[in-house]
Amino acid sequence: MVFRKLPGVSASGMGLRLSQKFVFLLFLSGLVTLCFGALFFLPDSVRLKRIFLSKTDTQPVTVGSGSENDAREHLKRPKEQEHGPRGMTPAKGETSSSKLKSLSRKPPVSHEATEERLAGGKAQEELTLSRSKTETSGLDRVTASDRGANSDTFSYQKFKRCLLKAPLGRDNGKPSDPTTNERREKVKEMMKFAWDNYKLYAWGKNELRPLTRNGHIGNMFGGLRGASIIDSLDTLYIMGLMEEYNDAKEWVESSLDLNSNGEASLFEVNIRYVGGLLSAYYLTGEELFKSKVLELGEKLLPAFNTPTGIPRGVINLGSGTSWSWGWASAGSSILAEFGTLHLEFVHLSELSNNPIYTEKVMNIRKLLNKIEKPHGLYPNFLSPVSGNWVQHHVSIGGLGDSFYEYLIKSFLMSDKMDEDAKRMYYGALEAIEANLVQKSAGGLTYLAEWRGGILDHKMGHLACFSGGMIGIGADDGAPEKRQHYLDLAAEITHTCHESYTRSATKLGPEAFRFDAGAEATATRLSDRYYILRPEVIESYMYMWRLTHDPKYRDWGWEAVQALEQHCRVESGFSGIRDVYTMTVNHDNMQQSFFLSETLKYLYLLFSDDDLLPLEDWVFNTEAHPLPIVRKSCLQDEATQEKTASE
């Protein structure tokens, strides 16, 4: 077929002349360049960017270990491990630790030197985030500096003088009994082993993968790195592992980059990074930790820019944009997440002398006080837009847990001045006792979960922290209930210990049930794993301090032996996939909370009570010790200082 040239139509057959065609092509190529260029300036979470960029570039957030979250993180691990590329193991010399050594700017600190310097006064499923419609822009952020933050006014010396006892005790908490001391030394050796391997194979990454001998970054902390370092600072320090502590401090100084632009869990960043830096500062007085934590605290504030002031779960630390977890129904926020900020935020206000942090968490408190609670219970999901509950699922384990813990600890940390927190805690405990506390056929006390009035006879490993929580709160409720609370705390701790003793490995499953003939055992395959969690040991530690019943130390020692036998591998510690089988299958993950919590609580269990005495310290939910705020003492000290200078 022959095409005839029509009048007025160009040779191209498209009705364009050569010059027009050239201009059009130029315009088109400009447009394409612009589109691709724009991709790199879009916020990390924009879906289009995810399609074009690789996973590591965009770092989609998988839910973290907050409450039920790390269970989900764990579920995706087997795949990664099986399909992990071969040859992932870096050559030993490739770790950055050696490089860091040469970067040292300040002389290393010894335990004694720090203490001496500070002495003075009385003491010394991979869930890629789908942005929900409830996304908030970070543009309207109110920063701490806008509100007049003044980091110069906090006096570390005044703070030290207001402590009742020396933080590290008489002899760093060394017990006089030789067996206990041997056990304590064993725990210290475990910490050193876990740390050395992290340093060797995963330095600067978030966690160590001990089987493949490499680092894990994950996606709970946005672009933040070094979770295991921040989580370990205080543990290394109280154990007197000073060379290791100095390496960690040096890393914070040279490599902790807070200018990340990734999607982070507000809860996880708060409990691990904010909590870890705060306690490192309070224990050592190093200004470095204070300036880092104040810088980070400021980056978290935009998460509160919601119609109710209830923060959303995820925040982009760079842009300040925040949104709800894609898996949380109807764009809701999670009780254990927005309810686990109080301790750290009060301390951020203390250090910055800026009330904004306290205001943010007090606002959460105000809303929770105002809304109706079914049977006095606090459901796990709340809308940050309407301020109403979204579902009626109540749990003292995952999704709820540390909210209750922070109520009683807020009261204790306020030097028992925060009456509101006290009232809320005992109110919640009453509702828990009336609705959730159960006795099994075999006589075990447990905490069931509540789904709109129907009980699920299951208790998560996470819920086992409650033995310790109820124990430390026993003194401050109604006096006639003191013994009752101590008994309840002991019964729950006993049940959790049973969940360990009834397994082949003597480690406890992720969740255990009390139905269909089960008594403190996991009935589902998916509940049989153990990821080095601390909660059961945490309760042993508190119950030991409260009662001095030697059984708690014996139970702790059983756990040490089980960890050594089943979780210690050639290059670190690893979780296991099934606590009921002796031929263990490791999950290839040394969680940062193993260093921060599990080993710290074990060390404290085998130490004298004067190592981080409970009269002066509360532990945040990641086991980072925070001091009790003695407002009146601090004010007296300030007045005295003023009078002296006049």
Contact residues toward ligand DMJ (CB under 6 A) are 65-67, 70, 402, 462, 533-534, 593, 597, 621-622
Q: Is 491 a catalytic residue?
A: no
To ligand DMJ, the closest distance from the beta carbon of 334 in angstroms equals 12
Count CB atoms within 10 A of the CB of residue 371.
Answer: 12
Instruction: Calculate Rg over the CA atoms of the chain.
Output: 27
Q: Is 401 a catalytic residue?
A: yes
Count CB atoms within 10 A of the CB of residue 310.
Answer: 23
To ligand DMJ, the closest distance from the beta carbon of 66 in angstroms equals 6
Kindly tell me which of 160 and 528 has the beta carbon lying closer to ligand DMJ.
Answer: 528
Kindly tell me which of 418 and 535 has the beta carbon lying closer to ligand DMJ.
Answer: 535
CA distances from 314 to 46, 60, 242, 467, 587 (A): 14, 11, 35, 30, 26
Among 70, 298, 337, 401, which one carries the catalytic annotation?
401
To ligand DMJ, the closest distance from the beta carbon of 278 in angstroms equals 15
Q: Which residues contact 355 (CB under 8 A, 6 or more apart)?
A: 147, 349
To ligand DMJ, the closest distance from the beta carbon of 276 in angstroms equals 11
CA pair distance 584, 575, nearest whole angstrom: 10
Kindly tell me which of 266 and 385 has the beta carbon lying closer to ligand DMJ.
Answer: 266
CA pair distance 328, 399, nearest whole angstrom: 11
CA pair distance 171, 391, nearest whole angstrom: 51
Kindly tell me which of 70 and 610 has the beta carbon lying closer to ligand DMJ.
Answer: 70
Q: Is 535 a catalytic residue?
A: yes
The answer to whether the CB of 389 falls within 8 A of the CB of 379 is yes
To ligand DMJ, the closest distance from the beta carbon of 626 in angstroms equals 14
Among 231, 234, 268, 637, which one carries the catalytic annotation?
268
Note every long-range contact of 387-393, with CB atoms under 8 Å and residues 24 or more positions apart, other chains counting. Answer: 387/307, 387/308, 387/310, 390/328, 390/329, 390/330, 390/332, 391/329, 391/332, 391/452, 392/450, 392/451, 392/452, 392/453, 393/449, 393/450, 393/451, 393/452
Residue from 343, 316, 308 nearest 61 by CA? 316
To ligand DMJ, the closest distance from the beta carbon of 511 in angstroms equals 12
Amino acid at 23: V
CA pair distance 471, 40, nearest whole angstrom: 52
Q: Sheet of 322-323: strands edge to edge?
A: 263-265, 314-316, 322-323
> Which backbone phi and psi does 550 adopt, to 5 degrees?
-60, -15
CA distances from 640 to 132, 252, 389, 637 (A): 53, 36, 49, 5
To ligand DMJ, the closest distance from the beta carbon of 461 in angstroms equals 7
Among 350, 405, 510, 597, which one carries the catalytic annotation?
510
To ligand DMJ, the closest distance from the beta carbon of 126 in angstroms equals 18
| Residue, CB closest to ligand DMJ | 621
501 in a labelled binding site: no
Among 527, 535, 538, 587, which one carries the catalytic annotation?
535
Q: Which two tokens stand for residue 455?
A: 């009980």
Kindly tell me which of 67 and 354 has the beta carbon lying closer to ligand DMJ.
Answer: 67
Kindly tell me which of 167 and 398 has the beta carbon lying closer to ligand DMJ.
Answer: 398
Kindly tell me which of 276 and 320 has the beta carbon lying closer to ligand DMJ.
Answer: 276
Kindly tell me which of 231 and 637 has the beta carbon lying closer to ligand DMJ.
Answer: 231
* 418: helix, strand or coil: coil
Per-residue exposure over 23-56, b if at least 16 CB sit within 10 Å of its own CB, e if not: eeeeeeeeeeeeeeeeeeeebbbeeebbeeeeee
Q: Is 189 a catalytic residue?
A: no
CA distances from 264 to 59, 245, 516 (A): 10, 26, 40
CA pair distance 335, 439, nearest whole angstrom: 26
Q: Which two tokens stand for residue 625?
A: 């010790």
Q: Which residues are catalytic?
A: 268, 401, 510, 535
Annotated binding site: 621
Annotated binding site for Ca(2+): 621
